[in-house]
Each structure stands twice: as C-alpha cells, then as structure tokens.
Structure 1
Amino acid sequence: TNNGKSVESYVRGWLPKPSNVSYVVEYSADFTVPTDFGSPAAILITNLRPKEFHLLEIILHGFPEGPVFFPANTWIHSRNDNPQSRIIFNNQDTFSAGRLKAVLHNLIPTISATLSNSDIPFKCFSEIDKLYIDGVSLIDEESKGIVDSLLVGKVMKQVLSSGERLLKYEIPAIVKGDKFAWLRDNEFARQTLAGVNPVNIELLKEFPICSKLDPTVYGPPESALTKELLEQELGGMSLEKAMEEKRLFIIDYHDTLLPFIKKMNSLPERKAYASRTILFITKTGILRPIAIELSLPQTPSSPQNKRVYTQGHDATTDWIWKLAKAHVCSNDAGIHQLVNHWLRTHACMEPYIIASHRQLSSLHPIYKLLHPHMRYTMEINALARQNLINGGGIIEASFSPGKYAMELSSAAYKNMWRFDMESLPADLIRRLEEIEEIINARNKDPSLKSRTGAGVPPYELLLPLSGPGVTGRGIPNSISI
C-alpha cells in the first residue's frame, strides 16, 4: 500500500479455475489483511514454476471500495532464470524489481543532494558508509514534499513515499571482506576484467603509443609512457619481450576524453584528466597496473601537459599513485555509462529493434532469438531520457563530464561506431583475428594437440577465419533455417 504495509500469500496448488475464455486460466490466492491495511498500490510477484507464464491481470476482491484491478499483460519470468521479482502497479505501470531497485540506486545521489541545504562533500570514509548502514529516509513530512519535486513519475513517487526499505542497500561484497580492498593494485586490476566495465582493456600491440588527435590542436601525439619508464616496472624483462609474450595491456581513454577535458574542468568542483593505464602480467600470473599517464590539453605556456605516475616506495608517492588510480576509475565509470552502456547497449540498439518489428514476422526464428534481448529496451530508453540522461539529470550530476555527457557520448558514436563493422561477418572477423593468432601459436606446440579421435586432429580445426574444407575449418557464410 501507499503507507508501506504489505502481506504475502501463495497461489493455491496451481489448480486453475474454469474460465469463460478457452485460452485463459484463472488461479486464486487468499490474503489476510488488517482493517487499517489501506488501498493496495502494488503487487510483488515471484514465479516459483520452472517456466515463465503470461499474466493478463490481477483482481483483488474484498475491499470497501470494490475490486482493485492490476492490469499486467506481461510475461513473468521463472525465479530459476532471474531471482528478482516483478512489481505490478494498479495504474498499469510494470517494472522488474531489479530494474526498479537499480533506478532507485541511481536516484540516491539526487535525493542526497536534494536533502542537503548545501553541496557538502564527504569528509571521511565513514560518511560514505552511512549510505549503506543508515540508508536514505524519505518518510517524514518534509521529505514528502521533496519527493514531489523530484523529476520522477507518479509510480516512482509512490515507491519512494512508501518508506526507506528500497533505499537501503547491502554493503558491497568486496568491502565486506576487506574495507580498503578497493585501494589495492590487485583489486584495481581485477576490476578491469571482472568489474562493471571489462570491455576497454586491450592487448598493447603498438609502441610507442601515439594519439590520433590533431596535433595542431591537441599537441604532440607521442605518449609520455616511454620504453625506459615502463621497463623499470617489468622486473628485468624488456619491453619487446613483454609485448611478444602478450603480457602488456592498456586502457586508453586519452583520445576520447582529451577534447572534453577543458570543458569538464570549467564546471564547478570538477577536475579531470585524459588517462592511459598500462597493466602487466607478472611471472606469477598476476595482473597489476604499472603506470598511469594523465593528460591535460596544451596551453600556450605548456604545450605538453602529460605526466606519468607509478607506484612509489614512500607514503607521499604511494598516495599520489592512489589518486591517479582514482582518476582512472572516474574516467572508467563515465566511459562505461556514457559509451559502453547508454550508447552501445541502449541507443545503438534502437534501429535494430525498430527494423526487427517492421521487417520480421513474430514467428521468424531470428525474431524469436532477438525478442528476449529487445523486450524492454525501448521502454528503458524512454525512462532514461526522462530521468537519467536529461539536462540536469542524474547522469550529469553523477559523472565527471557533467552537462557535456551527451556531447561526449555523441562524439564517441561519431568516432567509434561503424555500422558496416558491427554486423556479421565483419564484427566476428575483427574480434576473432587475435583469437586465431593465439590458436596458431598453440598449434605449434605438440604438447597442446587435441587427443580426441584416432587421427589426433590439431587445434586448427577450430580456426574461425580459414577456408572451408573436409577438415571442417571455417565458419559458414549463411545458415538456412
């Protein structure tokens, strides 16, 4: 209900009742509620069956105002596929509970800023801890007025007004195990592969590292990451040897961010640098960051504002190294949200979704393959344009680019997105070339030959780019269904 009260019940044995419509079945559940329960505003549904089912509507009887209708017309996934429940509101708005929780999680910075009389930064780590320990309370009379002023729809206001339960989150698992694990190099490196943005780390293939930006505008293209500097961090190994053994990796945000750094730094309380990060796999197989380059646009007095930071051996240098990593993490969060998430996952999918609905029958095998991935994208994008990426919205308030966030996203689309390179077979070939190089290297090692079958066929059976033949190598040009 709107006052935060709730009850729980189960469908009785999944035995359907007779229905007037042949293809519709009805199920019943009994709820026992107190007299002051109030009017039902939302229903949380968990599907314990092994398969999804299509829910048309829910009707609640027994309330003084008469039956309460909850139109749904949506599929309810099995808990085996997704443990999150579904929330259905009586005003025909439906959300995944997980999606709703994620939206609320993004709303916390806005709510916190709204509740503050001034823009007061965190003074210590314990103040950050309070976001997880105390949560954000919006249940008093003063806060109700604030909820009404937020840029969220009626549905969101109802949930926010119902109490603080959804606005309190568990402490992250990493912090639970080690409160300061996020400060350490091994956790920084782990996040590049297993964090929220694992798609920007690349093998370092070319050296010296050079920018592709216009040197007359942005200064000399050469990176400040020199051979001599990197070899000091390689434990006696030469740069050439490390590259040959594929032990050096790079996260390069230099060219994406540098054109926007001056604008970003003109915003109040913002300070950003374009960054390059070099990581190295040690002889013990541990990935660790070894050097970070932070850059500013050139000025008449300083034509090359680039500085490289490495892990130091004294407290001051070590904390400067941690600050350099913090700048990389800030850049990584912005690139993840604005480029990899919003642009590549959401915005760029819209023409595919529209084309699929226009050109493919709902019975077409390709449509059935794509439909689960496209089901909520347009709805989510519409909500994002209203409450997340809108001017003065949550994204601008939460990430370093600020009001230039969508401009940066658009520039990334212009410079990085190639429609002819995102479809098959071009995208597959582009991503598999490096895999084939690794397979070729393994094919040269007799100890790594496959032991399957009498002929002991080698790994080259898996080569994706080779021509077709009796060996079964290669991939087909088309598949008939």
Structure 2
Amino acid sequence: MALTREFMGAFSIFERSSSSSSSSKVLLNQSTFWQNKLLQQKQFLVPVQQRRVHSRKAGAAGVRRGINNPVAALSEDLVKGAASSAVPGAAEKPVKFKVRAVLTVRKNIKEDFKETLVNQFDALTEKIGRNVVLELVGTEVDPRTKGPKKSREAVLKDWSKKSNVKAERVHYTAEFLVDSNFGTPGAITVANKHQKEFFLETITIEGFACGPVHFQCNSWVQSTKDHPGKRIFFANQPYLPSETPAGLRALREKELKDIRGTGKGVRKLSDRIYDYDVYNDLGNPDRGSEFVRPSLGGEQRPYPRRCRTGRLPTDTDLLAESRIEKPLPIYVPRDEQFEESKQDAFSAGRLKGALHNLIPLLKASISARNHDFSGFSDIDSLYSEGLLLNLGLKDGLLKKLPLPNVVSKIQESSQGLLKYNSPKILSRDKFAWLRDDEFARQALAGVNPVSIERLQAFPPVSNLDPKIYGPQESALKEEHIIGQLDGMSVQQALEENKLYVLDFHDIYLPFLDRINALDGRKSYATRTIFFLNSLGTLKPIAIELSLPPSGPSPRSKRVLTPAADATSNWLWQLAKAHVCSNDAGVHQLVNHW
C-alpha cells in the first residue's frame, strides 16, 4: 500500500504541474526527486524485453490521460520496478572474479653444480609452458558436472625471475578466476612441470568473502615426469569422515589411497608412500650362516615395523630381503627425510657425540688419574669450557689419536665444537633441574611425554608373575601421599582425576638383575605419583623404587617422598634421577623403537 500511495502521489503531482505554468526544469527536478525516493525503497533490474513492453503500455496510458512526455518517462521506471518485484529470486548468471594465492617455497641453502644447472633449465622452460600449475577445488558439488566445483587453472608467476634469489624462503603468487557461486575453497591441486622437486611450505588464498584460506603443506612436490598427476593439499579445516564436505570426499579417498600404496613394486626415494613390512633385512645370509638374523614383527608380534621397500630377496633365503649397505640411502617417505638444516644439525651432533665419548675414554685409558666427577663444577665445565679446551694440544694426547690432523683442524676452526649445548631452561634458572616442578614438567614436555597416565586405582598393582617377581602389591600407602593432596582424600583425588602416574615397574623389573650385574651400573624399577594442583600443574608426591626379590625377607621396595631435611633432600633427588633414567630407557628402547 505504501508503494501504491507513492505511485498515486507521483501522478497527482505531475498532473498538477502539467496544468500549471511551471517550467520543464521544475518538472524534471520533481521527477528526479521521486526517482530517488523510489530507489531508496528498493532497487530493481528489469530485462530489456520487459522494459520495452512496459514502455509501450505506459506510453499508451499517458496519451489517454493527456500526460506530457517527461511523465511517461518517469512512469516507465516505476513500472519497471513493479514488474521486477513480481518475480523475486530470479536466477542470476554467476559473475566471475579473481582471487590471489601466495605460495611460500623453501629453497636449499647449498646447491651443487648439477642442481644449479637444473634450476637454470627450469627457469628457461618456464617461457614455453613448463611451469607450476594450480587449481582450486571447492567444498561444494557442481550440479552440472556432478563433481567438485573448480576454478580455472592458474600458473605460478615470476618463477624464472626469482630463480637466482638466495633467500631461504621465496614467495610466489598466482591468480585464479572463479565464479561468484564457487563457495569456500577446501583443497588445491599443484602440478609441477619442472625437472626438479621443490618444497612447498604454505599457500594462502585471498579474495573470498570468508576471509583468507590457509594451507599448511610442508611437503615436497615432485616433477610430473617422475610422478604423473597432481598433488593435493587440503585447507586447515579438519573433518570427521562423516562430516567431510561432498566436494572433498573423492579427493580425500584418492589422497589416502595414494599414500597407503598397493604393497607392490620397488620404492623410489622420491615416493611418498607409507606401507610397512617386517624387519627381515637385519642379516645377510648370503655372506654366511653367522650373518643370519631372525625376522622381527609378524602376526604374533606385529611390531616393530619398517617401511616397505620391495627389494629382491636374498639368494639363500627367500624370506629375507636383500640389504642396502652404506653409503646408499634406505627408503623412507620423501617428506620424512631430514631436510637440509636438520641434516646439518644431526651430522654436527653426531660428531660431537662421538668426540664427547672418545676423548674422555682415551684420556682415562692413558692417564692413571681418576677422572670421575668430583662435584657439580665438573659438570658445569662441560658446558662452559668443553672437552678439547681442557685437554689442549700441549699435553700430547691429541697427537696419539689415529687422525690427529683432523681433530687439530676441528679444534682450530671451532673452539666450542666439543662443548655441550646448554639447555635453555638453565639460562633462566641454573638449578631448575633440581626443582620438583621442572621434574614434573619434563614428564609432559620432555623427550618421552607419552608414558604418563591417569592413576586408575591406588595403590597400583603389578601384572608380573608373583612366583618369579614377588608380591604384586605396591609399597605405596595412603600415608605417603595424603599430606600432599591439598586436603583431599585419596579416593576424592582419584574421582576428580587429580592423580597421575609414571609406572616403569613391570617393564624394568625383569631386566634389573642383568643391568645391575654390569660394572658401574645400578638401577631400580620406578613408580612416580603426581598430583594436579590448583594451579593446573603437576607435582611429584611419591616415588617407589623396586628391586627383584632376593632372600627370604627382602627389602625390595622402598618409597621416598618430597624432602623435609637436607639428608632426605638428596635421597629424593637420587630417586628422581632413577626415574629419569627409566624414562630415557623406555623412550629409546620401547616408544622410539
């Protein structure tokens, strides 16, 4: 009704203005005023054919009513709006627009002559179409193709211009042309038509209404000459399988199938396939019976497993796979291989580790002096002075090494090569390693954060055979921990998930007799109870040390709690040291293996 009144008001104004002696300029001003007024109500788009029909109708009505031409022009616009409002929601043709992609590529710091030639060749072939091609994939299905919505292919820009850039990371751009109904991008495909692989770190897409879309790639993109097809990267939006958008399901299944492999063929170093096999290549039976080794893994004991390589079997045992000997590399998926900086750090650390053990051993064997640690200052010297700086060249020890020139050059080129790297925590607090809160933090943020678990029952019970390893009951009692629970009972702390445990009892106890029989080696099987305090941090409240039973009434288990005096403080510190020793052994020999 409001719109009708606007129509009637417009006609009455113009009828009055036509009968008066006002000028055409005033009439045009009024016409403009009411056009703007109607546009404020709603804007309409009318097809050209409808516009012509309504124009003729409005013109005839104007002649019958005796309205001048300017009024007919205004009424045409009014009828256009009314006709357009009669078909709301009419389908509009999608409009194409551009979005921008920014790719971050990590380059090798060191390149040999061959790699430099290949890079220059790739820069030249860019000009004839041998480039990097990308394509966006939406999360929705295209009703016309019944497949995911896709953008037009885009080419990476300025690869040849930036081929000589020496930075560690280089940024490239590409522009996609997409429809306005494309939706949200959920994946991107990359085809590398160069001769050489490159490491793609990230992709960021800008220009969509949803904001920037990020892709964390961190993967090697192989050349299509070695691996035909396109690499698929998915946006940083995880989905459960049942909630994966329809446009991405087929790509997800394809990606999973590609990385699982078929279990056939010989693996290349550039492959990115994660299929596994038993350890049947530990020995070399072709060299003789003394080099035969059993296979590890299988149906009864499925772990450990190694990456399947598909190498031929040995000549004398068809169930044993032929070995790869150094310096030939062993297959691991391409993305799992050490990248350049990691490889350099690993090589340097390996050299340091070898010399750290070699130099003290040689010095101890040559000198009659006892070189045990006499105090914490000796430990600090490993970080502040280093091993080679203590030995020096003047005492003649290094001249007795098999490779004196090599070691001498190492010392001259890097005075700190044989220093231990100081932990960062010690730069803030030199005695942090003695504190209980740091000990508890290492259980979650140390080298082995996967062994700690919520305590299900107190006291904990062993699963070992009591006929061999003694009573299954723990020596831990409520009186050991009740004073550390912030006023809670043990049962209340269990129910509120406040108690946690590092339990190395069952995994260490069967081996303790053999470990402790070694010269200079002493170990316990440990259990450590932690309490989650009101600050949201853990604190150790009891440590149980266990030994295998020996004799009729052995004292094989002992419980230590946080110190109350100087003597018990050092016993508590030694108990924590045994826990750390257990933790490192489980990390290396169980979890890491």
TM score, norm. by length of structure 1: 0.50
Tell me if the contact between 1:220 and 1:304 (Cα under 8 Å) persists in the aligned partners.
no
The residue that corresponds to 1:48 in the other structure is 168
> Residue by residue, what CA displacement relative to the aligned partner does 1:85-136 show, whole Å, maximum 9, x if unpaired?
xxxxxx9999811111332343213432223336622111111111111123
The residue that corresponds to 1:146 in the other structure is 401
| In 1, Cα distance between equivalents of 2:199 and 2:547 | 49
User: Does 2:380 align with 1:132?
Assistant: no
The residue that corresponds to 2:566 in the other structure is 315
Distance change (3 Å), C-alpha of 1:78 and 1:146: farther
| Pairing of 1:295-314 with structure 2 (within 5 A) | 295-303=546-554, 305-314=556-565
Tell me if the contact between 1:18 and 1:25 (Cα under 8 Å) persists in the aligned partners.
no
The equivalent position to 2:483 in structure 1, one of 232, 241, 244, is 232
User: Does 2:450 align with 1:199?
Assistant: yes
The residue that corresponds to 2:343 in the other structure is 96
Q: Which runs of 5+ in 1 are unaligned?
A: 1-9, 27-45, 53-72, 83-90, 150-154, 344-481
> Residue by residue, what CA displacement relative to the aligned partner does 1:298-318 show, whole Å, maximum 9, x if unpaired?
012434510000012111112
> Residue by residue, what CA displacement relative to the aligned partner does 1:396-433 show, whole Å, maximum 9, x if unpaired?
xxxxxxxxxxxxxxxxxxxxxxxxxxxxxxxxxxxxxx
Deviation at residue 291 of structure 1 after TM alignment: 0.1
| In 1, Cα distance between equivalents of 2:168 and 2:494 | 51
> Residue by residue, what CA displacement relative to the aligned partner does 1:249-269 show, whole Å, maximum 9, x if unpaired?
000111111111111111111
| In 2, Cα distance between equivalents of 1:79 and 1:135 | 38
Tell me if the contact between 2:119 and 2:196 (Cα under 8 Å) persists in the aligned partners.
no
| In 2, Cα distance between equivalents of 1:208 and 1:333 | 25
| Pairing of 1:446-465 with structure 2 (within 5 A) | none
Tell me if the contact between 1:47 and 1:78 (Cα under 8 Å) persists in the aligned partners.
no
> Residue by residue, what CA displacement relative to the aligned partner does 1:52-89 show, whole Å, maximum 9, x if unpaired?
9xxxxxxxxxxxxxxxxxxxx9989799999xxxxxxx
The residue that corresponds to 1:187 in the other structure is 438
Distance change (3 Å), C-alpha of 1:164 and 1:113: farther
Distance change (3 Å), C-alpha of 1:246 and 1:128: same
User: Does 2:503 align with 1:252?
Assistant: yes
Tell me if the contact between 2:562 and 2:572 (Cα under 8 Å) persists in the aligned partners.
yes
| In 2, Cα distance between equivalents of 1:241 and 1:47 | 58
> Residue by residue, what CA displacement relative to the aligned partner does 1:231-254 show, whole Å, maximum 9, x if unpaired?
232132111111111111000111
Distance change (3 Å), C-alpha of 1:243 and 1:133: same
Name the aligned partner's letter for residue 514 of structure 2.
K
Tell me if the contact between 1:50 and 1:78 (Cα under 8 Å) persists in the aligned partners.
no
Tell me if the contact between 2:500 and 2:531 (Cα under 8 Å) persists in the aligned partners.
yes
The equivalent position to 1:213 in structure 2, one of 455, 464, 478, is 464
Higher percent of residues as strand: 2
| In 1, Cα distance between equivalents of 2:375 and 2:565 | 23
Distance change (3 Å), C-alpha of 1:325 and 1:158: same
Q: Which runs of 5+ in 2 are unaligned?
A: 1-108, 126-165, 173-194, 203-216, 219-326, 330-339
Distance change (3 Å), C-alpha of 1:271 and 1:51: farther
| In 2, Cα distance between equivalents of 1:327 and 1:50 | 48
| In 1, Cα distance between equivalents of 2:376 and 2:504 | 28
Aligned length: 279
| Pairing of 1:160-179 with structure 2 (within 5 A) | 164-179=415-430
Tell me if the contact between 2:529 and 2:541 (Cα under 8 Å) persists in the aligned partners.
yes
Distance change (3 Å), C-alpha of 1:130 and 1:92: farther
Identity of aligned residues (%): 45
Query: Quick one: higher RCO (CA 8 Å, sep 6+), 1 or 2?
Result: 1
Tell me if the contact between 1:208 and 1:226 (Cα under 8 Å) persists in the aligned partners.
yes
TM score, norm. by length of structure 2: 0.41
The residue that corresponds to 1:7 in the other structure is none
| In 1, Cα distance between equivalents of 2:512 and 2:120 | 62
The equivalent position to 2:575 in structure 1, one of 324, 330, 336, is 324
| In 2, Cα distance between equivalents of 1:340 and 1:11 | 34
**Cα root mean square deviation, aligned:** 4.1
Deviation at residue 279 of structure 1 after TM alignment: 0.4
Tell me if the contact between 1:139 and 1:163 (Cα under 8 Å) persists in the aligned partners.
no
The residue that corresponds to 1:412 in the other structure is none
| Pairing of 1:60-459 with structure 2 (within 5 A) | 96-107=343-354, 108-116=356-364, 117=367, 120-137=371-388, 140=393, 142-143=397-398, 145-146=400-401, 148=403, 164-303=415-554, 305-341=556-592, 343=593
| In 2, Cα distance between equivalents of 1:79 and 1:321 | 47
3-state DSSP of counterpart to 2:553: coil
| In 1, Cα distance between equivalents of 2:170 and 2:473 | 57
Distance change (3 Å), C-alpha of 1:50 and 1:276: farther
Tell me if the contact between 2:118 and 2:196 (Cα under 8 Å) persists in the aligned partners.
no
Tell me if the contact between 1:144 and 1:161 (Cα under 8 Å) persists in the aligned partners.
no
Larger radius of gyration: 2
| In 1, Cα distance between equivalents of 2:413 and 2:488 | 60
Deviation at residue 163 of structure 1 after TM alignment: 5.1
> Residue by residue, what CA displacement relative to the aligned partner does 1:270-320 show, whole Å, maximum 9, x if unpaired?
111110000001123231000000001001243451000001211111221
| In 2, Cα distance between equivalents of 1:251 and 1:217 | 23
The residue that corresponds to 1:87 in the other structure is none
> Residue by residue, what CA displacement relative to the aligned partner does 1:138-181 show, whole Å, maximum 9, x if unpaired?
884642643649xxxxx999968965543234422111211111
Distance change (3 Å), C-alpha of 1:24 and 1:258: farther
| In 1, Cα distance between equivalents of 2:475 and 2:418 | 44
